[in-house]
């Protein structure tokens, strides 16, 4: 894996331009390690690690001191994004499952970089703020107890984003169901219901909102 490929993978770096990405890539260190080696723990420096070749497991120690497997990292997976911002998860361990190579960026190097190139910090602040925004939105969605409310909220939101009451569901019902915390069947039924109440006209995934006010009322019920 070439140097600059490590950082590119990590979502937080994906809004950086070429030059900025190069600066980040300069911080990357490469390592060869053996099976069983622990590369991230309370005893290692705070860092982001990216598996280049091989595999690793991440686990934390549960309250009774037992090792609780969280997930397996294959080549291309990474762990510790938040470490770079100084948010530590003290109980997190990453241990190699085979002889592997990995890349790392240390928190202290990264923070120094941010001091030198504030434009990077600004972009990261922006993308984090966007992330908070969308998480808050989804939280709010899930806090509506009725599926009807969540679906109505979703449809109105989509209409606003589109700037039109003519809209097409951008994903399979199964996925939408998971997003709204329900099942495809229920969504299908609710859409039908909305149709019967003349709030929408529906043909498969194509939907026209005929009564935004009606939907709004349901949303806030």
Among 61, 147, 156, 158, binds DNA (CB under 7 A): 147
Report whether 57 contacts 117 (CB < 8 A). no
- Residue 15 has phi, psi (to 5 degrees) of -100, 5
Report whether 150 contacts 54 (CB < 8 A). no
182 binds DNA (CB under 7 A): yes
139 binds a copy of itself (CB under 8 A): yes
In sequence order, what are the residues at sequence separation of 6 or more whose Cβ sits closer than 8 angstroms to the Cβ of residue 80? 40, 46, 47, 48, 49, 92, 94
For a copy of itself, the binding residues in 66-95 under the rule CB under 8 A are 68, 82, 85-87, 91
How are strands ordered across the β-sheet holding 47-53?
Answer: 29-33, 100-106, 47-53, 78-79
63 binds a copy of itself (CB under 8 A): yes
In this structure, how many other beta carbons lie within 10 angstroms of the beta carbon of residue 126?
A: 11
Stretch near DNA under the rule CB under 7 A, chosen from 28-36, 74-82, 103-111, 200-208: 200-208
Among 48, 105, 159, 191, binds a copy of itself (CB under 8 A): 159
Among 17, 42, 181, 198, binds a copy of itself (CB under 8 A): 181
Nearest Cα neighbor of 158 from 87, 86, 219 is 219
The pairing of strands 92-96 and 55-61 is antiparallel
Nearer to a copy of itself, 2 or 90 (CB): 90
Among 43, 90, 145, 213, binds DNA (CB under 7 A): 145
Dump the DSSP string for 31-85.
EEE-TT-EEESTTSPSEEEEEEESEEEEEEE-TTS-EEEEEEEETT-EE-GGGGG
119 binds a copy of itself (CB under 8 A): yes
Shortest reach from residue 182's CB to DNA, in Å: 4
Shortest reach from residue 59's CB to a copy of itself, in Å: 13
Stretch near a copy of itself under the rule CB under 8 A, chosen from 16-24, 27-35, 43-51, 142-150: 142-150
Shortest reach from residue 136's CB to a copy of itself, in Å: 7
Among 129, 196, 203, 204, binds a copy of itself (CB under 8 A): 129
Among 18, 145, 196, 203, binds a copy of itself (CB under 8 A): 145
Residues that bind DNA (CB under 7 A): 145-148, 169, 172-174, 181-192, 202, 204-205
């Amino acid at each position: 894996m070439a140097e600059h490929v490590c950082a590119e993978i990590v979502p937080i770096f994906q809004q950086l331009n070429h030059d900025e990405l190069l600066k980040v890539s300069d911080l990357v260190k490469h390592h060869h390690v053996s099976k069983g080696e622990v590369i991230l723990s309370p005893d290692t420096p705070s860092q982001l690690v990216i598996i280049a070749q091989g595999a690793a497991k991440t686990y934390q120690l549960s309250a009774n001191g037992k090792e609780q497997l969280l997930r397996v990292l294959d080549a291309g997976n990474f762990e510790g994004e938040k470490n770079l911002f100084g948010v530590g998860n003290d109980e997190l361990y990453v241990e190699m499952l085979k002889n592997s190579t990995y890349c790392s960026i240390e928190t202290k190097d990264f923070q120094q970089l941010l001091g030198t190139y504030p434009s990077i910090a600004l972009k990261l602040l922006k993308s984090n703020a966007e992330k908070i925004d969308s998480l808050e939105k989804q939280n709010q969605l899930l806090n509506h107890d009725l599926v009807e409310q969540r679906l109505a909220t979703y449809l109105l939101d989509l209409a606003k984003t589109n700037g039109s009451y003519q809209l097409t569901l951008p994903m399979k019902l199964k996925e939408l169901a998971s997003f709204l915390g329900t099942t495809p069947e229920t969504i299908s039924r609710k859409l039908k219901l909305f149709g019967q109440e003349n709030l929408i006209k529906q043909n498969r995934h194509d939907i026209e909102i005929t009564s935004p006010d009606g939907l709004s009322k349901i949303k806030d019920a």
